[in-house]
Amino acid sequence: MTARDHLVLYYLTLLIMLISLYFLYKYIENKKEHDELTEIDKHKSRTLTFLSHELKTPLAVISGYLELMLSGKTGALTDQQKKSLKITLDNVSKLDGIINSILNYFRLEAGKIKPTIEKQAIRPVIIAIANAFEPILNKRQIILVKKIEENLPKANYDYALINLVLSNLLDNAIKFSADGSQIELSAEKTESGQVKVSVKDQGKGIEQKHLKFITKAFYQGEEHKQPGLGIGLAVSSEILKLHNTTLEIESEQGKGSKFSFELEKAE
C-alpha cells in the first residue's frame, strides 16, 4: 500500500466520522423540537436502530482495518503514517464511546437494561476503575487518592453497571481537573449501614443554578462545557435509580465538585 493510499484512507475515515457526528447533531436538534411524547419515542427508536447498525458496524470495520495497518501486516509504514493512523484510530474510538453512551442512555430510559443485583464487596470495582484510568491519570499527572475503609460491609449491586457509573464519574472528574491536581475516590460505611462511594475533584466547580440540570442528558452549563455530549452523568443517574438510590452532587465554584451515591448494605 502506497503513502497515497494511506492518505486516502485517512481522509475517508475522517469524512465518515464527520458524517456520523452530523447525524448525531441532527438527532439532538430534532429531539428538542418534538413536543409529543409518542413522536419522541418513535424518533428514539429510529435513532437507536441507526446508531446500533448504521454507525457502529462501519466503525468496527474501520477500527479493525486501522489496527491491521498499524500492525504492519499490510506493509511497512513511515513514522508519520503511523502517527496519522494512531490519531485516526483514537478518534474512531472516541466516536464509538459517544455512540455507546447514547445507546446506554436510551436503553436505560426505555427500561431495556435490567440490573443483576448481587451481594458483593465494593473494593474490587473501585480497584478495577483505578487501574483502568491509570494511564490517563499519569499522562495528566493527576494524583488519585483512594480512601476505602477497611471491613466495609458487602453491598447489593450490579458490578458492570456500578463499574460504568464510577467510570463516568472519574472520567468527568478528570475532564474538569487541572494537570497535577488531585482526585479522591472513596468508600465508607454510613451511620445507617449503607456503603457510600464518592468521587471528589479540585476542578472549577459547578454554579448553583446548573446543579439541578447537570444530570439531564445533553446538558452542560456554560462555564462547565467540555468535549462530549454531557451524557455520562445522565447515564449514571439512571443506573443508580435502578439500584434504588440517587446521585448526590456537592459543588462550590473554584473549589471543585463531589459526586456520591449510596448502595444498600447486603444482609
Ranges of each domain in the chain: 3-109, 118-263
pLDDT of the residue at 195 = 94
Gap between the terminal Cα atoms of the chain? 62
Q: Considering the entire predicted model, what is its pTM?
A: 0.70
The cell numbers describing 128, all together, are 478495577
Rounded Cα–Cα distance for residues 215 and 232 (Å): 8
**Residue 236: C-alpha distances to residues 66, 92, 162, 239, 241 (Å):** 32, 23, 8, 5, 9
pLDDT of the residue at 7 = 62
pLDDT of the residue at 14 = 67
pLDDT of the residue at 11 = 61
Pick the CATH number of 118-263 from 3.60.21.10, 3.30.70.20, 3.30.230.10, 3.30.565.10: 3.30.565.10
Residues of the chain under the 70 pLDDT cut: 1-15, 17-18, 20-55, 213, 217-230
Report which of 212, 221, 152 is spatially closest to residue 188, judged by C-alpha positions: 152
pLDDT of the residue at 187 = 94
Instruction: Fill in the DSSP letter of residue 65.
Output: H
pLDDT of the residue at 161 = 92
pLDDT of the residue at 104 = 77
Rounded Cα–Cα distance for residues 204 and 86 (Å): 31
Report which of 151, 241, 144 is spatially closest to residue 198, judged by C-alpha positions: 144
